[in-house]
Structure 1
Amino acid sequence: MNKSFSNMAYFPSLLSTLFFLLVSPSSSQPTEFFFPGFEHLNDPDNLTLTGVSQIEQNGILRLTNATPRFVGKAFYSSPFRFKNSTNGPAFSFSTSFVLAMVPVFGRFGGHGLAFTITTSVDRRAPPNQYLGILNATEMGNFSNHLVAVEFDTVQDFEFRDMDDNHVGIDINTLHSNASVPAAYYTRGGSTKQNLTLKSGKLIQAWIDYDSVENFMNVTIAATSTKPTSPILSFHVDLSPFLQEFMYVGFSASTGNVLASSHYILGWSFKINGQAPALDISSLPSLPGQPKKHTKLIVGVSVSLSVVVIALSVAIYFVIKIKNAEVVEDWELEIGPHRYSYRELKQATDSFNDKTLLGRGGFGRVYKGTLGNPSTQVAVKRVSHESKQGLREFVSEISSIGRLRHRNLVQLLGWCRRRGDLLLVYDFMANGSLDKFLFDEPKTILNWDQRFRIIKGVASGILYLHEGYEQIAIHRDVKASNVLLDDELNARLGDFGLARLYEHGSNPGTSRIVGTMGYIAPELPKTGKATTSTDVYAFGAFLLEVACGRRPIDPDTLAEEAVLVDWVWEKFSQGRVLDVVDTRLNGLFDEGETMMVLKLGLICSNDVPAARPSMRQIVRYLDGEADLPEKLRPPAVFDGGAEGFEAFVHSFSSLSLSSSSSSSSPSSSPSPSDKMSSYPFLTNGDASTN
């Protein structure tokens, strides 16, 4: 088989005839095809290309180029019959293809590509870690009817990826059902040879599904010879996941900064049989590689070449040294892409006030345009006089630069030039959440939008606390640090105060920072920022989103100045829904609103052990657990040090709900008492030292 198909590359007329016979539908659905290159296949009857995918002049299928934040897809235009009936067993199938991933920044590339079996060729999905095949709301849905094999080149902690160089089998989700580091077996299956997916070199892949044994095997190699043992074997019956008719193809995506050109050089597929073999040597060459069988002819004098090269090198280094931006040792360990100062100056029109998005204690944020095609970004310029100086700048780069979650603002890169410190982020079209909650907002968020924002922020904080390789404490959770994209999806940002420490270790003491109304009362005593202090701030966030009020508002009535006390007073009177933002005009889900308000009170307890963890909070918000019916005042806790679970079961009095009797507990401090318990805070949203 190998020999017959490799020889066909030299007989175009015979090959085109065979191609027609293989894919011509005749009286039934196609059962196989063979593409030793993709020249002349731009006809939509053969391949359906979407996104930035295209067929190059030399016959290579390019799914993406090196441009960030793009998706490219290519599917065989006709669906294949994978079952005889809706409820019947799935057929066996086999496919083989040759791929290449060429990263932009040396070893830094992404995000990867996936062979995909799906019900639709135009499934809408974002780039980045989603590879263009699913979106966040579809993850794990049985109705997806999606089977994919991913070739992933970025470690995404949201999907619990093992590393940034693995092969995985994904069924209805991007949390791989099975995955392994990219490698192949040699010498009869006794030796494993590692492969780097984003090396820019050609890699051949074979995917085989056996419907009798219910096994899906994935094999890869650096040559056309198929190893005898697969690198990944997964026992699964695909019958429940495949529909009668499905499309087969590829999807690839690039990230915000991490980008690769993703190529497919050849592809074959067959239902109920072995896909025709591909011969790498007969496939088109990658761009930039010398054509096969060509010779390099040197016709320039060696001595003249040496002189020209020497002068060029000398001139280059003179210019380089003159315009060099100093790079210190610690900067080499930071992570994300480093932009030049010239790039960012040009992107922001020399930091023109017309591009100014906002200002704060840290400095200014400008809107910029980078790349070709252009991508909108936000450039944060830390001021020289800012309290958020070099230490916080480095903290923000080193922490958020390695964090990846759909509900965290993505850091794209950074720049340091003399005293100028700059960070580059995704541009969030709708700005910060506080502009939609306070001070007569132009747009009023409805309850569904608010609840989705709350769940998004909770998911992001849970990732910080438990989903990353270290524990990340944000230390400044509040509405003004939650940014909204063009679809009003929430992303937590501003990691300048963030701190990292190892799981299981005890966080050290540090200076007290944060914003009045969000700082946990134990923090000034212990000096230790913990996951529980983030939970306290999240409690204040819950209440401000539901009530449309800041946690502390000295301009309002004295009894309403401290939001948590006012909410508790109304709760104890059975009138808690009176605190809901009046701009909602009573249009909200009472069950969800009650849960948010009660959860805000629980998170705002003065004693850390009385607060739930973020995992418990997410379970409440997702409806996987019920909040306790009985609550104690936020300033009272008598459950000892056993923790939240013991706390909510440790008392038997004061059962309150929205319909409870009107009585205010004597143990609840008045707003003035509550204010006096914050002697360490100054007026306004200022960090404390």
Structure 2
Amino acid sequence: MLSKAHLLLFLLIKVVSSSDNGFTFYKSFKLVGEAEIAPDGLFKHINETSWGIIHTFYSLPFGFKNSLTGNALSFSTMFVFEIVPEIQDRIGLGMGFVIAPSKEIPGAGDSQHLGLVNLTNDGQPSNHMVSIRFDTSKEKEFGDINDNHVGININSIRSIKSAPAGYFKNENGEFKNLSLTSGEPIQAWVEYDGIVKQLNVTLSPININKPNLPLLSLKIDLSPIFLDQMYVGFSSSIVVNQQSHYVLGWSFQLNGKAEELDLSKLRSLSHEKKSIKTQITLAIGLSLMGIILATTIIFIIFFWLKRKAKYSEILEDWEVQYGPHRFQYKDLFLATEGFKDTELLGRGGFGEVYKGALPMSNVQIAVKRISHNARQGMKEFVAEIATIGRVRHPNLVRLLGYCRRKCELYLIYDLMTNTSLDKFIFNETNAMLKWNQRFKIIKDIASGLAYLHEEWVEVIVHRDIKASNVLLDDELNGKLGEFGLARCNNHGKDPQTTHLAGTLGYIAPELARNGKATTSSDVFAFGAFCLEVACGRRPVEHRAPYEEVILVDWVLECWRNGEILKVADSKLKGDFKVDELELILKLGLLCSHPAAAIRPSMSQVLQYLNGHALIPEKLDSHWTEDHFGGTSQSNDSKPSLTITELFIVTGR
């Protein structure tokens, strides 16, 4: 959008005459700034500019209404103008003759409105404005007929009536087109008859007398439009170095006919432009070069400072050791196109996730933006991120690094094109996953989780295992993602968090009691995950029948009643291997057992899934008061129990 500017009129020759009801100026002026024309022909310079919206008005108002009747008086004006393109095929937006209640138009809009109205007041009767527009562009939103037309506008940017620019050569109606941007002088007459209430607009080339037929004729009573005192002038909209607007002569008369201009007295600024430029270039060349150089330096400094502020980020001394894992905010901003909504993959409880491609390398990434106001613990958290960033496993989403800026933390991952598993399991609009695909994804996640718990140099507790945190690549391989809640812990140490984190239905009972996240609490969540993938529903479903609200309870009840296949996802339509489905359901019940000591490790889970071991129907275990809230019992005093019996004993 062009900045608002106003019209500077450069006076070349003096006024011929003026009176209380009219004036005649034999002068040439270029629309390049803001000024007003006094009755004696002097110009008051207000502001200088060379582009945007520009206005000029005769400095004194005229009484456009009969003081007794309140009717609009007749008026007539004639002027000669030129519109000169500075660059071929780039012609700006146009100019117009204006009658307005003030020389300074409040709330004027952008260049598309010729600086007369804005989107808020467009068409409002309170504007009290009449303009004759000479448009050199076609704005479809305003109903323009073409890019070379004349329009009559009342209080609005939309023309009440318009016609292609031209004139009628004779009374038989032979029409000749005129190009408004030819760079040649064009005569214009605007006349209003207050008796018959008719407004006429006429054009002709400089060498043709005024045609008898007007180009535009509109029956309209201007009495409601005009106030008692109105100003006359011009409004223009130009683009810097693309178009110049000139008025070569102007006469106006209220309640009478404007004086015809003596065309021999007019001088065209556009035709003198080259010679003037040649003369002044030599005189001010060095000064101009100095100004341009200084302006350029200032602009470069300003741009550099603005760009630096735009991409500024926090970097503390202790972060130097994590350099390889730190991304520049500028690269993330460019990769996600400024974090545009079109790049948004989804929103979660911890922030938004955007897709993008890193500059230069074009590596596809997912960027999670998290609000993080707490400075305390940030160093430890970044240390953990850097540690997790070294983890590499085919079934773990690779955490590439992080970025900090102001109160925001950014985590950068490899992009998974098929997004998350829950969109396939719970959203019926997506392609449904077959049983063999679901079974493989469960094995993939078990493999990745076993690596975190038992195979890497440090124990990593994920703490938020669920379908929405399982991502799928191009070949629908399952990868465990979302390390935002992960915690790294040295082997042999008891991991502990300061607050409970996770998702309802996946939180182990002991975690809810003591807040200690362990590998066993991860196994509990994995069990809930197995059940939701097999059953096609979430661990807690409030809209389900009462006995089915808690998924693990429902599966357990069906197991006890010998109806375990009843819980299979109905979308599978029975297309599954019974032995595999029973294996996953049994494993889900075992892993999500309320007693942590009964849950298997992830290495044991992998043995069950790969057929290297069978899930026992009877298990011996050392029951403690901590598990059941009762008296401790030894193996000798407690008989072996089936899986179903174990759940019954623990109150599930």
Q: TM-score, normalised by structure 2?
A: 0.48
Structure number with bigger Rg: 2
Structure-1-length-normalised TM-score: 0.46
